[in-house]
Structure 1
Amino acid sequence: MRFSVLGVLTVRHADGGFVPVRRRKHRQLLAALLLRANTPVSGGHLTESLWDAAPPPSAEQNLKTYVHTLRKLLSPDDPRSAPITTHGAGYLITLRPDELDVLVFQDLVRRGRRAAREGDLETACRCFEQALGLWRGDALQDAGGSRVLDRAADHLTEERLSVLEELAELQLHLGRNAEAVSRLRAAAAGHPLRERLQRQLMLGLHRSGDRAGALDAYQRFRKALVTETGLDPGRDIQELHRRILTSGSGPAPPASDRASRPAEPRPAPPRQLPRDLAGFVGRAEELVRLRSLLAPWDGGPPHHVVAITGPPGSGKSALAVRAAHAVGRDFPDGWLYTNLHGATPGLRRLEPLEVLGRFLRDLGVSPQAVPDDVDGAAALWRTRLDGRRVLVVLDDAADLAQIRPLLSVPVGSAILVTSRESFALVDDCARVRIGELLRTEASAMFAKLIGAGRAAEDVRATGRLIELCGRLPLAVGIAGARLANRPRWTVADLVERLEDERRRLHELEAGDLAVRSSLAVSYDLLAGGAHPLDRLAARTLRMLGVLQVADVTPLMVAALLGGPAEEAERAMERLVDAHLAECDEPGRYRLHDLVRLFARERAALQDPEETTAALNRVLDFYTATAVLAGTLLRYPSHGLPEIDLHAVPAPLTSREQAYEWMEEERANLLSAASQAMASPGERTVRLGAALAIRLHWHLLYGHHVSYMLTVNQRMLEAARRLGDRSIEALAHNHTGVALCARLQLPESVAHFERHLAISRELGNAHGEQRALGGLARSCFEMGRYEEAVGHAEAQRVIARRIGHSSGEYYALGIIGEAYHRLGRFDQALAVLEKSLSLSRRDGNVYQQGSELEALGELHLSRGEPALAKSAFTDALDCVRTIRMVAMESYLLLGLARSCRLLGELDQAAAHAWQAVETSRGLRDSNTEKKALAEHAAIEEARRSSPRRAGPPQAGDPERLRLAR
């Protein structure tokens, strides 16, 4: 396997095939590991590489998920054989020196420098040339974005420049001036303030006989240096400039091909570019790329077709005009411009023959001589451009057919196109895709429109407005224009209007500018298209407005459309090509917020029965897949209200796939369930409730308590609207569980009591015993141990009567824990071991983990740290098997205590700190405090008995420091 970071991050198999790493976070993680290949990388460094200093609460779990995904990408058949291994609290990627281009680069540079020191200049040159040949662009080109990775990329760039300068020095010494100059031109243009590069370029040009070029290089350097820094050039380069000035004219440069041809009388070159916008901000990276394509740093010919593509309102036209003005002097024979009206509301788009005729006349062809057929006009177009350097800007192209006859231009001229289409089928077309602005860029644009002082009056409101505009230049510009014309409005006034999603598109109108009409043009082009795929894409966009989720997959879209997944995927890809949808990773699509609102408006215009049927199909699919995932993950499923499901679930076949699907879709599932339960249709509401119920165990195991409370509040409201007491009872139970996990114990008791009352009213014995179990747990957590035993005994009786074994050993577990707290250690041990035996018999891994944790705590109280350590270790294996992250921090804390009492202080400290980090990731401040206290106790033990080893003796006071 080969890895490359000196340019776009790439991974290749041994056979040369690419390994796609499409998600940005995955690329950033891989880049961070590769930059420290064969060296362990801490979790903290990786977290900073991905999120700077503001990681999300779930960063640690996200990191684990990303590592797991990378392993699967690198070794799909056996992820464990991937070169990424866990190393302490971090990770390590192990590679041979020839498997990573950075390692090869560094080795070649070392060999080159050694050869130069030994006087073998030819070998040194060869090594440096090979090292520079490994570069395919800027380092980490698509994997940067954080301060850590950007600093690493800057360091690599500095290394590259240093090697280039060393190579140029050797080539100039050997008299290979032309070779040196060919490399130095591009580098000097890209780094105009780097004095050593500029000095080498001047020397190479002068020695090649281009004295004028050398003097011109000095003037460019001096101007750039004074403009940027206010400083004068250094003494060495000034001295070189003086020597060149006094050395005579030197050999004349060779005449160019164009200069050797007979002069041809031509009219004044056209200068048709629109005025460059004074308020233009941002797009720095895109401008650099456009300049490098249209006016290459090495002086080579421009790329003949460059397309700026992006969604409606992203500022394609403004960027094209800015880029065209920036490179205008490189096209001395003319700047041609036309607006093709491919997406202009109310205007007919221009035909190819119209554009060719207009441009030919602008280039001096008489109107009578312009051919009246496209082929003839295109041939004359190519003839007129031959030998000229003309920049042609084709703004707002509808599609490839509109401009195809103009694209084949002779070398030296360039076509710059803007379009909402992707232009993926244009041969040798360089595409520069733009989307939303960076937050800083959008803020700067907004401040220019309304004034920096006004924008700074309420920074929070300004930031919120930028996000509500989706950071699209058109939307930000309209918002700024509205405020500029309403001096008495505050930014917060407009934010309040934009917060209402139903009127946001209406508010984003100013004069003849409107986000809605801009989006409508793209939609109408698809809806009225001749190709069936275009019309299907338009229908898909409408239907996507039915469902309020963050992103979609082909299977979900297929359910929405009521068709095959292959057709759904083609429709989504067409929307991506039209820049009405975005694809951040293979098989997952999302709509920009403003496009989503537009889609929702279009959905509202459809037949309500059609939209309800589409929503129900998706809910059916989601619920059927959640049922399958829960079965594979062995989540408890007893007592759930039945509902007829007709959809074929996603093809999940393993616990791993089931867990990944539940995690990837969690936010969408919650959103869909909440939307459904607020809908008017009864089946839709019941499907939403069924989906919410199937999410319960996954949310509980993952400690997503806030989500549990929100979705169950919606379910409670829906159940009351339906008058369905069974769903109401479950909503009370699930709310009680969430409140108990949050230690809001009186509130949890109230919900469990409502669950108990409804279950008894319905004669639902299963619900009754489950409510009693909830009451037992809440009472236990409140320290009411005798009361907890009473509720648990009652649960056990009912569970045995109805044959519900998991209810029986759940009750036994609580009884055992209560006996422990009551000081009845022997009884607690007997009950907990019985509960563990029953749960092992049934293969209930969740309950095994719970009982083993309780046994661990009991063994600590009995002064048996070795047995406690064994129990906690087994429990940790159980909860990691079922991915119940909510219990991990407790168990790590128990392991830390056990190891401390055994004198294994290094292990104890590691477990304690893991408990701290895990509880922080879960925002569990209670366990975090206990883990920090335990860590302090371990450090105290280190100081007081640094040589101590082995378990404590009977009566050891350390046994008393066991408060949970």
Structure 2
Amino acid sequence: MTFLMLGGLEVRSDRGQIIPIPRLKQRQLLVALLLKANTPASFEYLTDALWGDDPPASAEQNLKTYVHTLRRLLSPDAPRSAPIETQANTYLVTLGEDDLDLLAFREHVRRGRRATQGHRAEAAHHHYQRALDLWRGDPFPNARGTRVLNDAAAGLGEERLAALEEFSEIRLDLKRYAEAVPDLRAAAGANPTRERLWGQLMLALHGAGDRAAALHAYERLAKAVMERTGLEPSPTLRDLHRRIISSTEVTRPASPGPERSTGISVTAGTVPVPHQLPRDPGGFVGRAEELVQLRSLLSPWDGGRPHHVVAITGPPGAGKSALAIRAAHAVRDHFPDGQLYANLHGATPGLRPLEPLEVLGRFLRALGVAPQAVPTDVDEAAALWRSLLDGRNVLVVLDDAVDLPQVRPLLSVPEGNTVLVNSRRTFALVDDCVHVPIGRLRQVEATAMLAKLTGAERTGRDPEATERLVELCGGLPLAVAVAGARLANRPRWEVTDLVERLQDERRRLRELEAGDIAVRSSLGVSYDLLAGSADPLDREAARALRALGVLRVPDVTPHVVGALLDVPADEAERALERLADGHLVETDGVGRYRLHDLVRLFASEQALREDSETDRDIKLSRALSFYISTAHSATEIMQYPRIESAGISVDAAPLPLTSKDEAQEWLERERASLLSAASQAMAAMEERTIRLGVTLAFTLYWSLHYSGAGSDLLLISHQTLEAGRRLCDLGIEAKAHNYVGVALDMNNRSGEAVPHIQRQLELCRELSDPHGEQKALGSLAVIYSYQERYEEMLHCAEEQLRVSNAIGHRSGEHYAMAYIGLAHRRLGRLDQALAVLNDALDKIHEDDDNRPYHEAIVLEKLGEVHVDRGDPASAKTCYENALTCVRAVKASIAEPYLLLGLARASRLLGEIDEAAGHLAQSAAGVREMGIKDLDGQLAEEEAALREARGEEAAPVRRVMTP
């Protein structure tokens, strides 16, 4: 029999008859097995493919039943002869390329690539043509529904698109321009910022004699790229455009090579090349042997491939980070596809070590994955990470790893890529890992380092004192660097002056000879020099350093430090610059400062030693109040809905923000620090501090929600719920249950969300909190709509309307009416839906405090009703007005839904080109946001659009991110 999955799933007998597979679970099982053709499929994999993260307790027995039934369907007379074997705890389908279209597709692509490498263009053309002819539409739309299968379908679609691009290169080589145009036009239209496709289309159109169309294609690309990124197309595409305009010789731009089948799309159509290494440490001296060893591992002298994993290990302060960065810069030219860097905070006082998923998320975004499309499962993210690196040469630097589990998901990179990691812990359990241990600097190296920092003439005047200073520093590079910086900033001091200061601290001398304590002592010298100075600015810098030890955030601005110190921002900035001069803070761009890990520890200890608990609480409260006040101001400017109360108020002056763009930029730029500050506060012991942390988390809710940051929202909401329980504050607990539920729903875990919202509803009724009650009912209505529980959805929305009416809460009324209308529509009662939604729209327009997002929700539902009633003109108006509303509040997560509705309405009006443009924008938004519930609707609308055009050719897949 023959299995077909490059289109709707079909099974055909040897006589060509279709063998029906009637049930969805049977089709899903068959697709899962076919995806693993000729490879054993484990029980765990099949369970994920069939049920995702929520398998039933009887999953194992159910799977056996499905396998038995599938065998009987495939071979009714002899089920055991069906091509499904049982091997231990796995199942195996053994097929040849003639038996499965996916295998045939991949084999023809492989042969096409081989023929291309052998400069056999006609043979390559033949194989690519046969490969692409196997596609009948989107892969197995009748067997999707779980994350594993949806992601697999997305990945196959990307394989198809990559093959089409390679095929187009062959056609252009063979000058078959007119033949290439239709496929390229369809593919480029579905991928409006994929520059390789658009460049090929421009060449094909120009080669076919349609110069005007080629120039128009560039204009469409340039507009899409500008709208998406604010940038122009790449220099290569701009040069091609100029050549077409001037009718000079037009040659094909250099091909970036086959796109990898990653299931994702990058912002501008090509995978970016990141260059994230911190600057090369200018004062680096020594470690000559280690550098030679590292260079031989990272860039072998014989031209071979770099070693898989290289680990630099040693005690704190030994200079592991500096050595890693110096080595990485030395070999960066041997990694043309980029260099990635992350500080994992393994030994960062006051900051928790980064989770593997956080690091993967940062790297995936750097490689072009949209923030909202980063997987929320670590295994899924690691798989995408490996796919993106396949066939590339990237150097990955993992700085300050806490242990092996923290980095294990990042280590299994494809051949040709290298992970350079440094840590205090051993990595002996890592396969194919070479260790480069380091300890103290040799005396001659430490002396050379000190001479470079302070001047060789100065250290040479008193070699005995120089030698003694190196001894006091314990040979640790950080301690030597701190001592050298002090001398460099005080040119009248001799080396012996600093030696005498260190010798006055006998305990410090003992500490200076051991690990962290040594570095702490060196920092103590720097701090004492500031705190005891006659210069007021020095003393203010010392106070600023102590204050920075109170607040645990990745970096700060002068406004934040001004709040900590209760001084103007410009005064705080002067103190920070003084600390920067003394190498006690580092600058990350203009106006942003961060503490080195060990300096942070020292600052925290100084704050504990010199400031009372009350003083520390006051400083933290001032910083939190500044964050809350500015975040609240930003949300007001953005016209976000009401912010929940945590039973506390602040009166700090916010950062002056004057526009929506400015407000949104501040919220995005400070997000990591805001979340860190909220987490720190909610983990505190003092009630006021905890409530400030909860207030900050509540203030961030709509920003996280509208931007689609489901992972961040889920993490902070869980912390908020725990804080409410610690405070025994049922009001906070109720609100937090809502936020946890919404965040779970955003992460496609609606089954887990329902109990949280139901608990919120119980608590609000117990507390006689009608506002919270109506909010819970509204959230339940939304979740039930996704679960297709329309009667329950209608009941919840009607209850929300009743409660909102009773308390005069207009926004609640509008929201409830929107979902009452949606419920009536889904239940087939279009007249009732139309009446309710029109009434809701009238009420919104009468409301002085109209919130654009609520209006957009009603307009979207109203547009759907107009489509169902055969009035696409009214529907189009609704969708256009709704888009204006969501763009006003920058709720980008809503745009793909509205653009899809606009495409449908335009198609029904006969505006085919306009509909295609809206559909392409919707698909691009789906790709960028990682939205998982629109795939089927996009496929249906694309099919309808092709039918309206009278086209029969299968479409190029919209790229869906996992």
TM-score, normalised with respect to structure 2: 0.49
Greater radius of gyration (CA): 1
Q: Flag the structure with more relative contact order, 1 or 2, with Cα contacts below 8 A and sequence separation at least 6.
A: 2
TM-score, normalised with respect to structure 1:
0.49
